[in-house]
Amino acid sequence: MANYSDLSLHVRLFLKGYPFSRYAIEPGLCAKLSKPLSQSRVALVTTAGLRTPDQRGFDHSNKKGDSTFREIPTAIEAQTLIESHRSYSFDHLGLAADTNLAFPLDRFRELESRGTIGQLNHRHFSFMGSIVGPRMLIEETAPQVARLLREDGVDVAFLTPV
């Protein structure tokens, strides 16, 4: 495990000035699974800033962070996804070597083929991490994605925070 002193000066200075916030999770926002996982529809949600080659990149010029999202189709080859995360707080080389580290689509395909999960949803969602001004995310884009997941009949959303 890394210690604070292991971080670069750039990252330590960033963290010193970072406007950390606390958000309480309201009761009822997290639902219990109502059926076996082997019968459940699953979607992946990541904050790795991934996008397909034909989608526009996330806006790195937005000082508060880009709160938009990208739909990732299930049929895509995971390694063709483009990582456009703006954070300097993690080593991007691991994600470049294997997209499944932050978006385990291939691993979930294996779970689906073994019957561990019922089926993968036809689409998944990618957000940008490192959003220091999360109001739009909390009030608009995250609820929009939640509605889309509900419309798709998703039972489980697997979140990979980056």
Q: Does 89 have pLDDT greater than 90?
A: no
Strand partners, 157: 43
pLDDT at 88: 66
Hey, is 101 helix, strand or coil?
A: helix
Domain edges within the chain:
31-160
Cα–Cα–Cα angle for 25, 31, 35, rounded to 5 degrees: 165
Task: Give the pLDDT mean for 48-66.
Answer: 92
**How far out from the chain centre does Cα 160 lie?**
5
Alpha-carbon distance of 131 to 146, in angstroms, equals: 18
List the single range of 23-37, 43-57, 72-86 with lowest mean pLDDT: 23-37
For position 19, what pLDDT does the model report? 73
Cα(45)–Cα(49) distance, rounded to whole angstroms?
Answer: 10
CA distances in angstroms from 117 to 2, 19, 41, 59, 155, listed in the order given: 34, 38, 7, 34, 10
pLDDT at 77 over 90: yes
pLDDT at 2: 67
